[in-house]
Amino acid sequence: MKLVISRSKKASVTVEKKIVGKIDTGLLILVGFTNGDTIEDINYLIDKVIHLRIFDDEKGLQNKSLLDVNGSILSVSQFTLYADTKKGRRPSYVEALKKEEAEQLYQLWNQKLSEFVTVETGIFGAHMEVELLNDGPITIIMESRGKTC
């Protein structure tokens, strides 16, 4: 499981000219799944995300978590996080989890995440336009494989 996390002042997702998800202060998270991902990967990354101290305290230091600032999450599925670009000019997506399985894990990710914070989403599998006012800018990549985060 791979996440690209951006601290946000505001973010939104539009599908067919209609905003389907929108947040203010919080995190825009692009979410990708690969073969072998399980609920343990989801639980591990949820704990990391909600406690990640990347919001400024009163002194301007990154000492506050999403929970501390009462922030929200805009969760957007993105299989292209598992693009392999080592050969040729066209990315290969063979490492991305198959659509049906990825959708189940994505729904579970959002459901479990919503137990802790407000979660808005895009639409799985849809062509989406994502807007972000990145605060910082702060962008972090996390993976559950090998617990590299």
Q: Does residue 147 form part of some domain?
A: no
Q: Which of 34, 55, 79, 121 is catalytic?
A: 79
Which residues, 6 or more positions from 35, have their beta carbon under 8 angstroms from its beta carbon? 95, 97
Is a pLDDT exceeding 60 seen at residue 72? yes
Q: What is the pLDDT of residue 42?
A: 98
21: pLDDT strictly greater than 70: yes
For the domain that residue 7 is a member of, what is the CATH number?
A: 3.50.80.10
Q: Is the pLDDT of residue 133 over 70?
A: yes
Least confident among 19-23, 87-91, 117-121, 144-148? 144-148
Question: Nearest Cα to 67, choosing from 82, 52, 79?
Answer: 52
Q: Can 80 be counted among the known catalytic residues?
A: yes
Task: Select which of 34, 55, 78, 121 is catalytic.
Answer: 78
Produce one character per residue of 111-129: b if its CB has 16 or more CB atoms within 10 Å, e if not: eebeeebebbbbebeeebe
In this prediction, residues 83-98 reach a mean pLDDT of 95
Q: Which one-letter DSSP state was computed for residue 96?
A: B
HSE at residue 28, side-chain half, CA atoms within 13 A, is 24
Per-residue model confidence (pLDDT) at position 147? 59
Q: Would 24 be classed as within a structural domain?
A: yes
pLDDT (mean) for 41-58 = 98
- Per the domain annotation, does 43 fall within a domain? yes
Tell me if residue 78 is catalytic.
Answer: yes
Q: How many domains does the chain have?
A: 1
In the structure, what pLDDT confidence band is assigned to residue 146 with cuts at 50, 70 and 90?
low
Catalytic-residue membership of 79: yes
* 86 part of a folded domain: yes
Task: Provide the domain limits for residue 44.
Answer: 2-141
pLDDT value for 145: 81
Query: What span, in angstroms and rounded, lies between the C-alpha atoms of 41 and 29?
Result: 15
Catalytic residue chosen out of the listed positions 80, 104, 111, 118: 80
- Asked if the model's pLDDT at residue 45 lies above 90, the reply is yes
Q: Are 113 and 77 in contact (CB under 8 A)?
A: no
